[in-house]
Chains A and B, each alone.
Chain A
Amino acid sequence: MELALTILLFVALVATALTIALVRRLFAVVMLSGVFSLLSALLFVLMDAVDVAFTEAAVGAGISSVLMLGTIALTARSEKRPERYSLVPLAVVLLTGGVLIYGTLDMPNFGAADAPVQLHVGPDYIRKTPEDIDVPNIVTAVLASYRGFDTLGEVTVVFTAGLGVVLLISGLGRRIRRRREGAD
């Protein structure tokens, strides 16, 4: 059942991605990328990552679509028809994909409990969280406490990115300058 669902979701995901590659109307591209986010959120739920699914649904389908629509409103509606199709990108992509698939051959089976990832730090967090921190959601415990320093860094990155956007396009500097000139 789970396998069938996974495959179904994958077919839908790949179909969405290919349609995004082919469609030239940017509005459709943005809407499809929202669909892609929701589908990947479903896939995350299947793989037990409920927190991640939650974030992906809120961020990918919500905010990201709004921002891209805002960008379209400020720039252009559709993509230009390409003058010529080159085979080089396709060759590069196929080569990279082949190398990556070759790399996966060594990986442990999906869902294996004895995979190297499952033997090290993860089990410690699961075992110690009830005594150390005593909150049911282990992801929150790791995020905010065990790896609090990491998260501080992430928050700073978000802060910096927001600062960058405001500096680039909010027109704040222009407004302040105008006010200053008005005051003189």
Chain B
Amino acid sequence: MDHHLILRVVTKLLVAPILLYGLYVQFHGDFGPGGGFQAGVIFAVGFILYGIVFGLRRLRKSFPDYFVHRLVALGVLIYAGTGVVNMLLGGNFLDYNVLAEEGYKGQHWGIIAVELGVGVTVFGVMMAIYYSFAGRPPRLDDKDW
């Protein structure tokens, strides 16, 4: 896509706000619409946009495959790990009340941790899927569309 000057300039302007918005959606999910599922997707969209316009090779250089694959597992681990921590602290699995002295504060911590796990996994899965599809040699030329 070297000849699309406008696309390249606009993408450079857009990627950072998209990522910032993804973080906002992730951590503001308790107060407004949003949460890990949406944030993971939006965060991945920022990277995918970069990959579409500047080429998969450059995206892979800054965000290698093995890193993405580890993120996919890390999210589930964070989620389940939160539950296990609760058990170690004497509560039930995924019962966040034991995470702080007052129950509702523990719930806040638990929700943030769990949503982070969701966000990381969804982000990782979306990136892994995009890498898988975009990494194969395409059958159609740019002109065929």
Contact = CB atoms under 8 A, between A and B. Distances in A.
A–B touching in complex (CB under 8 Å): yes
Interface of A: 27, 50-51, 53-55, 58-59, 62-63, 66-67, 70-77, 131-137, 139-141, 143-145, 148-149, 151-152, 155-156, 158-159, 161-163, 165-166, 168-172
Contact of B136 (A131, A156, A171): A171
A58 B45 contact: yes
A85 B80 CA distance: 51
A51 B79 contact: no
Contacts of B138: 73-74
A170 B122 CA distance: 18
Given A132-B104, A169-B133, 5 more contacts: A62-B45, A140-B115, A156-B76, A162-B125, A170-B135
B91 interface: no
Interface of B: 25, 29-35, 37-38, 41-42, 44-45, 48, 52, 65, 69, 72-73, 75-76, 79-80, 83, 93-94, 96, 103-104, 107-108, 110-111, 114-115, 117-118, 121-122, 124-126, 128-136, 138-140, 144-145
Consensus secondary structure, chain B interface:
helix
Contact of A63 (B35, B44, B136): B44
A140 B124 contact: no
A152 B83 contact: yes
A154 B99 CA distance: 23
Nearest to B52: A66
